[in-house]
Amino acid sequence: MSGYVEEIAPEKVNDLLTNGEKMSIVDVRGPEEVATGKIPNAYNLPVNEIQTRMNELDKNKKHIIVCQSGGRSSMASMVLKSNGYRVLNMTGGMQEWTGITE
């Protein structure tokens, strides 16, 4: 099951943030989508740039991958995982996000 990517619900991510948990959140949407609102401190790394820019992410951290509805983040998560990154795919994406945005 090496292709399997662990998932995390938006509510759980919000709980962790609310509790002051330090997390790496990577938003793989395009810049124009991110401009409409993102999870505070999320790092924007568009899915079409993952292959060339994944080295910007710390391999020693666990990263929560986010997109609009969960599809692109699922693909990005698989690419990152296959390259040795520890990732969680946030199910439902920003559509399901009820926490604060910036």
Selected catalytic residue, list 39, 57, 67, 90 = 67
pTM of the predicted model, to two decimals?
A: 0.94
Catalytic annotation on 67? yes
Give CA–CA dist 75/80, Å, rounded: 9
Question: How many alpha carbons fall within 13 Å on the CB side of residue 43?
Answer: 15
Predicted confidence band of residue 4 (pLDDT cuts 50, 70, 90): confident
Is the predicted pLDDT of residue 3 greater than 70, yes or no? no
pLDDT in tens, 46-58: 999 999 999 999 9
- The C-alpha torsion from 12 through 16 and 19 to 22, rounded to 10°, is -170
Would the pLDDT of 33 be above 50?
yes
Q: What would the pLDDT profile of 86-100 be if each residue is shown by its tens digit?
A: 999 999 999 999 999
